[in-house]
Amino acid sequence: MEKRNIIVIGASTGGFEAIKQLVAALPADLDAAIFIVWHMSPDMRGILPQVLNQQNTMLATNALDNEPISTNHIYVAAPDKHLMLEKGLVRTTRGPKENRFRPAVDPLFRSAAASYGSRVIGIVLSGALDDGTAGLWTIKSRGGIAIVQEPTEAAVPSMPESALAAVDVDYCVSIAEMAPLLVKLTAEMVTEANEVAMDEQQKTSREVRFAAQGRTFEQRQPAFGQLTPYTCPDCHGVLSAITDGDIIRYRCHTGHAHSADSLLATITEEIEDTLWSAIRGVEESIFLLNDLGDHYAEKNQPKLAAMYFKKAQEAAVRADMVRQTVFNHEQLTTASISKQVADEEVA
């Protein structure tokens, strides 16, 4: 039997302070290895370890590829690198983005579950959308412990709320309660990991290889899951739908992955971009039509000039219609839709 001493933490917006508070409350001699993914810009300096070391608890460093895993140590994902685990080793990769992020939470959670099974404790903290939900489901399915920050305490509750809605979470607690809970859980011995169906093992293994920069294209079966009519926002490859329990998510054969929430948010965001491009194109046609109208007027061809001016006016009407569509366009997420449903029920 072994200790439950692999702790993986995922956070996004609002998670910086939550991580600081949690680490500050942990004992300096905690017999566990902690791995943290906090969403950040790829050109941002990896300052989180420096900040965590000011808490005077466990040593925190930016994770390095292929370094051995040690307990009583905090490993933080570096900017623009996925953080993943192999048995006994830390991996950092530039594999395909997941949920529009690198580092993303799901690759860490998924790889930890695949390598350490029931020894893993997965924690979802404050953040927008739902990165970490699918990975937390994988941890739970392999006998690990699932913990989320109390959503009412989180600066941005979407990530904890998503995990609570989709995963049979073991603990939903405040940051103040989380540190003593981790001390208790990491002192426990664990039994063997849950038995996992072969197809589920193969799916997880292939997804881990995606994030680890492995070549996973298969000539006879390039996709896995159910093919959909949707295209990947990152590379425009066809997306396949993958299910984890009640969770549905999407992945293309090159490796980019999207939760339903991140895909919806990306698609609706791209709609606005496309509409602005349409307005730009129509307005350019208006400029050109008017210029040509002036040209033919100067050439003493009034009927032809008038037709160009007429077409410019018609195009201006169409531009106004598209512009109004942009102003009425709604940026959607599953959280915003759920809120509208709740608001209607209250009304």
For the sheet with 59-62, list strands across it.
59-62, 73-76, 33-38, 6-11, 120-124, 145-149, 171-173
Residue-by-residue DSSP string for 206-245: HHHHHHTT-----SS----SEEEEEE-TTT-PEEEEEEET
Residue-by-residue DSSP string for 125-169: -S-STTTTHHHHHHHHHTT-EEEEE-TTTSSS-HHHHHHHHHS--
Establish whether 131 is a catalytic residue.
Answer: yes
For residue 307 the two structure tokens come to 């037709």
Q: CA 327 to CA 249: how far, in whole Å? A: 29
DSSP 255: S
Residue type for position 130: D
Q: Cβ(98)–Cβ(120) under 8 Å?
A: no
Residue from 131, 244, 256, 259 carrying the catalytic annotation: 131
To which H or E segment does residue 317 belong? helix 302-328
Q: CA 113 to CA 29: how far, in whole Å? A: 24
CA-based torsion, 172, 175, 180, 182: positive or negative: positive
Establish whether 12 is a catalytic residue.
Answer: yes
Residues annotated catalytic, as ranges: 12, 39, 131
